[in-house]
A = this chain, B = another copy of it.
Amino acid sequence: MRYLKAKIAYDGSCYHGFQRQNNAIAVQQVIEDTICELTGEEVTVNGCSRTDTGVHAREFFLSFKMENPIHCEGFLRAVNNLLPDDIAFLSVEECDESFHARYDCKGKEYEYLLFNSRAKDPFLKNKAYRYTYPLDEKLLDKAAKQFIGKHDFKSFCSADCTKENTVRTITDFSVSRNGDMVSFKVSADGFLYNMVRILVGTLLYVNEGKLTCEQIAELFDKKDRTKAGVTVPPQGLYLNRVFY
């Protein structure tokens, strides 16, 4: 038996997230079916993360077992030729039997892209969230720093979140602008369900004067999802980097 580690990327527009679903197409299913088509083996790939419907990954890791002796380079080329255009294997290598893409993950960086313009760009469909009000990226960068550190993020995860432990450590959070595109980059040791999208929505509340920078700190103690900002749409969200 071989143990493999793969780095992949995908445009999530057409998929119901990474994890296999009973009644919708997910990235995991497409990859497993493609490997089976190539090798005849029914393989289960372990992903480094779940992602929501419509969320993208610029870097995402898989671990899986396979019998087939095909060279990593040949496997990479063949699987990319068989996969649809919106899922790509970037690299494949042999790894230690003990490696697990999810359990060994030490942290992740997400980027949220917001197109801050009254004009409409049809080529950003499914790629960025259009926000037409004026946005003060310097204020939001200052506000984002309030989230850095070890906190209970109970107020900043979906009410459907089933995790008992909602304490996470955000190691970096910055907001910057490049022309009309505003980027929110956040790194942490782990993220709760919808957490990045609620953090960005909460910063938009600060932009709109519904919350002050100081009030953000108070939200940790409230442990109440309804006090934080809205959950912004998924299409602007990219899993950017995964740390091991």
Contact = CB atoms under 8 A, between A and B. Distances in A.
A244 interface: no
Nearest to A124: B85
A88 B121 contact: yes
Which of A77, A84, A85, A122 has the most CB atoms of chain B within a 10 A radius of its CB?
A: A122
Number of this chain's copies in the assembly equals 2
A111 interface: no
A94 interface: no
A48 to B, nearest CB: 16
B11 A120 contact: no
Interface in A53-96: 56, 77, 80, 84-90
Contact of A86 (B87, B90, B119, B122): B122
A184 interface: no
Given A88-B119, A90-B119, 13 more contacts: A11-B122, A11-B123, A11-B125, A56-B123, A85-B122, A85-B124, A85-B126, A86-B122, A87-B122, A88-B120, A89-B120, A90-B120, A123-B127
B122 A9 contact: yes
B86 A125 contact: yes
A10 interface: yes
Contacts of A86: 122, 125
Contacts of A120: 80, 85, 88-90
7 contacts: A11-B125, A56-B123, A86-B122, A88-B119, A88-B121, A88-B122, A90-B119
A125 B85 contact: yes
Which of A85, A86, A126, A127 has the most CB atoms of chain B within a 10 A radius of its CB?
A: A85
A123 B86 CA distance: 7
Contacts of A119: 88, 90
A142 B77 CA distance: 32
Nearest to A91: B119
